[in-house]
């Protein structure tokens, strides 16, 4: 800053730098808090895997599920003409429908697959057929629906699987 500037300009200059420094420190604080939470989660996941692989997988699913849902909500509510920090669910409600339906479908599909494996002892591969039909339908609709709805389906499939793992584990 030049020496011959007025005091009001100096004050504004200092205020601008102080604001920038505050913002930087706040961003660092947010990152440190996120790292602490991630470290605690990682510690809990490692402890769960040390008990058993099933407990570890459930812990991993429990960790991933809220992050996945938060990612979906933030993705489905983004719009180029809307401010980034304005969250309004009605804008993304159309994309929530595929998310919820595909999540529920996967939970029921996994239950059906588990039932067929236990009941038919893998003699009749009905679970495999149902999963294959679902995969085929997902591939087919990828060219038929808007991308945001397709992403909603993908998030729903993964969320449904994580919910299933949380409740029933991975065993068939």
Residues 96 and 126 both lie in one domain = yes
Identify the pLDDT of residue 145. Answer: 85
Summarised one tens digit per residue, pLDDT across range 72-114 is: 777 766 665 555 444 454 555 667 889 999 999 999 999 998 8
Select the highest-mean-pLDDT range: 63-67, 77-81, 87-91, 155-159. 155-159
Residues 64 and 109 both lie in one domain = yes
Q: Is the entire prediction scored with pTM above 0.85?
A: no
Residues 108 and 32 both lie in one domain = no
Identify the pLDDT of residue 90. Answer: 53
Euclidean distance between CA atoms 64 and 165, whole angstroms? 11
Identify the pLDDT of residue 82. Answer: 54
Identify the pLDDT of residue 118. Answer: 85
Residues 44 and 81 both lie in one domain = no
How far, rounded to the nearest angstrom, does the alpha carbon of residue 144 sit from its chain's CA centroid? 24
Identify the pLDDT of residue 78. Answer: 63
Three-state DSSP class for residue 122: coil
- Answer for the pair 103, 159: CB distance below 8 angstroms, yes or no: yes
Residues 1 and 35 both lie in one domain = yes
- Answer for the pair 162, 69: CB distance below 8 angstroms, yes or no: no
Token pair 């993908």 in the structure block, residue:
154
Residues 33 and 76 both lie in one domain = no
Residues 43 and 84 both lie in one domain = no
Summarised one tens digit per residue, pLDDT across range 123-133 is: 777 888 888 88
Cα–Cα distance list, 113 to 1, 71, 170 (Å):
71, 28, 12
Three-state DSSP class for residue 10: helix
**Structure-model confidence comparison of residues 121 and 138, the more confident one:** 138
Residues 126 and 95 both lie in one domain = yes
Residues 21 and 90 both lie in one domain = no
What's 12's DSSP letter?
H
Residues 47 and 57 both lie in one domain = no
**Structure-model confidence comparison of residues 156 and 71, the more confident one:** 156
Domain that holds residue 25: 1-51
Identify the pLDDT of residue 148. Answer: 82
Residues 90 and 110 both lie in one domain = yes
Counted domains in the chain: 2
Token pair 């997988």 in the structure block, residue:
57
Q: What percent of the chain has pLDDT over 90?
A: 16
Identify the pLDDT of residue 85. Answer: 47
């Amino acid at each position: 800053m030049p020496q011959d500037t007025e005091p009001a300009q100096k004050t504004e200059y200092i205020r601008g730098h102080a604001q920038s420094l505050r913002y930087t420190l706040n961003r660092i604080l947010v990152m440190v808090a996120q790292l602490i939470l991630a470290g605690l989660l990682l510690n809990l996941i490692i402890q769960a895997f040390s008990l058993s692989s099933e407990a570890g997988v459930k812990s991993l699913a429990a960790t991933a599920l809220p992050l996945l849902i938060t990612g979906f909500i933030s993705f489905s509510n983004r719009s180029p003409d809307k401010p980034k920090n304005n969250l309004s669910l009605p804008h993304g409600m159309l994309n929530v429908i595929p998310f919820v339906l595909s999540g529920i479908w996967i939970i029921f599909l996994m239950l059906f697959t588990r039932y067929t494996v236990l009941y038919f002892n893998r003699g009749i591969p009905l679970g495999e057929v149902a999963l294959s039909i679902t995969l085929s339908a997902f591939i087919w609709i990828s060219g038929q629906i808007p991308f945001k709805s397709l992403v909603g389906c993908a998030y729903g499939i993964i969320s449904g699987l994580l919910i299933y793992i949380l409740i029933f584990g991975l065993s068939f």
